[in-house]
Chains A and B, each alone.
Chain A
Amino acid sequence: MTVYIPEEEFDETVKEGFWIADFCTDHCGPCKVLDLVLGEIIYDNPEINLAKCDIEKSPAYQERFEVVGTPTLVFMMDGEEKARISGIQSREALEELISSVMFG
């Protein structure tokens, strides 16, 4: 599942299960590159939830999650941050991280 959510709906949305929060902006080139990689992963693994969080449309995200650059991915399990990674990543690197957070 992929949702585009403002900060005020974030907690309620990600409170259960595994979520990837993608902190991005719509004019960030690396965000667009990473978005395609994430798109392929979500397409093949629809049980993974993706929350697209635009830090310009919802500036509160930036301070709350201490996002210092985009794209930043925060991996969450039952509402709790488990890992984070910034910048463009390969599909393999992301899947390895997803696997370790989802299944330990």
Chain B
Amino acid sequence: MLKTPFPYDPIDYEAYFDAYLGREDAVKTLPDREELRALARKNIVKGHITLEEIPADEAVASGDTVSFSCESTLPKYNKEKITVSIGRGLFNRPLEDALIGAKKDEVLETSADGEPVRVRILSIRRKLVPEPTDEMAAEMGVKDMRQQPVTTVAGYEEMIYEQKRMEVLGAVNYYVTEPIFRDHPVMDCAAEDLSALADLEERMFYEMFLRDEGIDLYKESKEAMQARWGCDSFRDFIALRYDWYKIKVQQCLVYANILGIPLTGEMDPTKRYEVLSELTLKMYDRAEEAMKKRSKE
């Protein structure tokens, strides 16, 4: 259990949340699930799109990939072959729009940047987009936030939604709690709290490097540690992080106050490294709840 005193009444989170909503840049809704689903599916199939030449009697439509030659006094528009998908304006939006309705081998007189341009259509290809499959999702080799491989379309869609949700709620939580931390400073951080957090982090880093990279941080050379963290030894590195442990103590105390969670047993941050991460995720849920409540109102 933390020994650092936190002499404050229950924090009025809702009041701070309302103050946040007064900001001009406040995010008031969560990402739209359907929009993100469509985005995820586009990303899955992007490596499997093929372009097929359209029949000679069909004309350029928005989204087609068109190759053309152009003649102009301006170098940008005086090229033997340009290939561009019509509609986004990557080359020149008005010129691209002028090609809509034209057919292969057709010659058009148009203009760009105030100068005449003569365009000849060389080829028109249309996009063939397959339905996303689990195999396509798996071959992307993506891992989710728990570092598990994503192997299905549904899994990828869920990962993208969760990623965006965390992005939004992370930012909201930051801006809502920033004034809370300012208004509830921790004056005297107990030395034994800092020492306990340092011990936990030391063990976590040691085990992680040994497991993932086969490196024993206690046996690393001075040069290797300088290159890695800019200090002479692993213990020096931990000592340099005491300011962070002070912030961590305050974060745990503030979050526990807001969430009404006693920092004892499984939730004792001096006993388990993951406690602050878990409290932070609960704060994200709290922000989401506040957002939903207000959108209903």
Chain A interface (Cβ < 8 Å from any Cβ of B): 1-4, 26-27, 29, 32-33, 35-36, 39-40, 42-47, 50, 54, 95, 98-99, 102-104
Contacts and interface: CB of A to CB of B under 8 A. Distances in A.
A4 B140 CA distance: 8
B98 to A, nearest CB: 16
A47 B88 contact: no
Given A39-B46, A98-B90, 10 more contacts: A26-B143, A27-B143, A33-B163, A42-B49, A43-B45, A44-B87, A46-B49, A47-B83, A95-B88, A99-B89
Contacts, number: 73
B82 A103 contact: yes
Contacts of B75: 104
Interface of B: 39, 42-43, 45-47, 49, 51, 63, 65, 75-76, 82-85, 87-91, 127, 129, 139-143, 147, 160, 163, 167
A39 B42 contact: yes
A42 B51 CA distance: 13
Contact of A27 (B43, B147, B163): B147
Contacts of A98: 90
A3 B51 contact: no
Which 9 residue pairs of A and B lie closest in terms of their CB atoms, listed nearest first?
A39-B43, A2-B47, A43-B42, A45-B85, A42-B46, A46-B49, A99-B90, A47-B83, A39-B46
A46 B90 contact: no
Nearest to B50: A46
A43 B46 contact: yes
Nearest to B91: A103
14 contacts: A4-B140, A39-B42, A43-B42, A43-B43, A44-B85, A45-B88, A46-B51, A47-B65, A47-B84, A99-B91, A102-B90, A103-B82, A103-B91, A104-B75
B160 A36 contact: yes
Nearest to B84: A47
Nearest to B44: A39
A46 B50 CA distance: 8
A104 B85 contact: no
